[in-house]
Amino acid sequence: MIPLPTGLRARLVFTFTLVAVAASTLVATIGFELAKTALVTRTETSSLNLVTRELSAINFPVGRLAPGEAPPTTKELQRVANSLYGPGRGVLVEYHELLASDGPMTMSDVPNELYGRAKQSVVTQRKIIRNELWLIVGTEVYRKSGAVAEATGLRAFVFFPMRDDEQQLATLRSRFVQGGVAIVLIALVVALLSARRVLLPVRRLSAAAQALGQGRLDTRLPVHGQDELAELTARFNDAAAALELSVSELRSLEAMSRRFVADVSHELRTPLTAMTAVADMLYEEANRLPEAPAEAVRLVLREIVRLRELVEHLIEISRFDAGTATLNMEPVNVADAIQDCLEVRGWSDEVTVHASQGLTANLDPRRFDVIVANLVGNALKHGSPPVLVNARGTENGLEVKVRDHGKGIPRDALAHVFDRFFKAGAGRARSQGSGLGLAIARANVHLHGGTISVRQQNPGTLFTVWLPHS
């Protein structure tokens, strides 16, 4: 099965060429059949006229003989045959038991149907004899007896060769084929030129749409003419202008939002520092306060810690949004970096680390600390012990895995765990954490050119970080 073309240009050319082929074939077929009919009719007419003229010139008595008339002799029949003969022809003249011939034909070459119809009138039939096409004209000679023409029993069959007609038809067929090929070639060239002219605006629209997709929102196209493609181009320009305006407004609003978050976060740092210092003093005094005030003080202290963590995360996120986050790469002992991260946060007794002491990698130590802290902190807050950290070198980078043995993250939430402010489960709305830790971890991993993924375990959840060699 021939595969159909799929491109618009190919379909246009294919369709145009197919129509041209069908039209030229139809015209050539009709023309050839008309020419063939005219040629055969001309040949039959001239052959009939010849036979009729020669037979009407017979001057010897045939049929019902009058008194004193002698029947025709073989010599007379042969003279009739000779008068009907011509180059390449075959002639048979039959009268009762007498038969005269001129040429290679015999009565066995006369079709039975033609022999029977020849008794009624002058008839013709085409037949292939010895691998050659012949036109056979057969008739019986009639003789007038008073007002009525009577059959005489004298029949003549003349075989006219049609090799010249076949040669003319073959030449004509060849000319039609050559003309059809020329028409198809012309149609193909016209189709290619037309398709190029029609598809040029479409290509321009495609390139312009690609440019829009790449962020060049000022892309516009010149409008030529007043056809449907020109109208489509004008609509594209209107849509591009509207899109540019909308995106500009959105970018302005987004920039304002980022500045607002960054400014608020930085402004909150100063009062939070003071609140933290006061909170530390209150923490020392909390044990000497009555139970109700002491519990209130502890609640305030916990919320201050959460607020401080939220502000730090917002400041970190604002750096990524503003594009100011950078890497300060240096050789890092991975095992020591993980242990330092856990010790600073008091998690050393809660986490088991498996990492070769000689394992080193070229990393930003501060951002690597943030990645490990957010993943381990997430496992401790929302998972169950034991929490395991495994680090190993691969052929092209560093792989770090963090796993807990809790209930795990629901399957429908796995695709969203790295989204900002996402918390799995309705009961997590007031849980510890800002909902930004995993998003910040992913941003730091991507800044290193690495990848981070999450999978369900039985039990628990497994986070895998891969950082490339740099």
My answer on whether 366 and 283 are in the same domain is: no
Average pLDDT over residues 35-59: 88
pLDDT confidence bin for 430, thresholds 50/70/90 = very low
Average pLDDT over residues 248-258: 74
- The verdict on residue 180 lying in a domain is no
Domain ends where: 152, 169, 186? 169
My answer on whether 266 and 222 are in the same domain is: yes
* Structural domain range at position 124: 8-169
- The verdict on residue 76 lying in a domain is yes
**Distance of alpha carbon 462 from alpha carbon 459, whole angstroms:** 10
Counting the structural domains of the chain, the total is 3
- The verdict on residue 435 lying in a domain is yes
Q: Token pair of 273, please?
A: 């520092």
Any idea what the CATH number is for the domain that residue 310 is in? 1.10.287.130
Given a contact cutoff of 8 angstroms between Cβ atoms, the answer to whether 316 and 295 are in contact is no
Task: Give the mean pLDDT of the chain.
Answer: 83
Any idea what the CATH number is for the domain that residue 373 is in? 3.30.565.10
**Among 261, 274, 396, residue whose Cα is nearest residue 322:** 261
My answer on whether 447 and 361 are in the same domain is: yes
**Distance of alpha carbon 378 from alpha carbon 173, whole angstroms:** 86
My answer on whether 145 and 60 are in the same domain is: yes
Whether pTM > 0.85 for this model: the answer is no
My answer on whether 157 and 297 are in the same domain is: no
My answer on whether 315 and 339 are in the same domain is: no
Q: Which of 62-71, 77-86, 226-235 has the lowest mean pLDDT?
A: 62-71
Q: Which residues pair with 157 in a beta bridge?
A: 92, 138
pLDDT digits (tens, 9 = 90+) for 366-390: 889 989 998 998 899 888 889 999 9
DSSP H or E run through 363: strand 360-363
Percent with pLDDT over 70 in the chain: 88
My answer on whether 287 and 427 are in the same domain is: no
Q: Give buried/exposed letters for 69-102 (b at 16+ CB in 10 A, else e).
A: eeebeeebbbebbebbbeeebbbbbbbeebbbbb
Domain ends where: 306, 325, 344? 325
- DSSP assignment string, 217-255: TT------SSSHHHHHHHHHHHHHHHHHHHHHHHHHHHH
Which pLDDT score, from 0 to 100, does residue 426 have?
43
* pLDDT over 90 at 325, yes or no: no
Average pLDDT over residues 119-128: 89
Average pLDDT over residues 68-96: 87
My answer on whether 307 and 342 are in the same domain is: no
My answer on whether 94 and 155 are in the same domain is: yes
Domain ends where: 325, 346, 377? 325
Q: Token pair of 126, please?
A: 């085409």
More confident site: 432 or 441: 441
My answer on whether 153 and 103 are in the same domain is: yes
Which pLDDT score, from 0 to 100, does residue 146 have?
65
Which pLDDT score, from 0 to 100, does residue 249 have?
82
Phi, psi of 355 (to 5 degrees): -155, 135
**Distance of alpha carbon 211 from alpha carbon 90, whole angstroms:** 83
Question: Could you report how far apart the first and last alpha carbons of the chain are, in Å?
Answer: 53
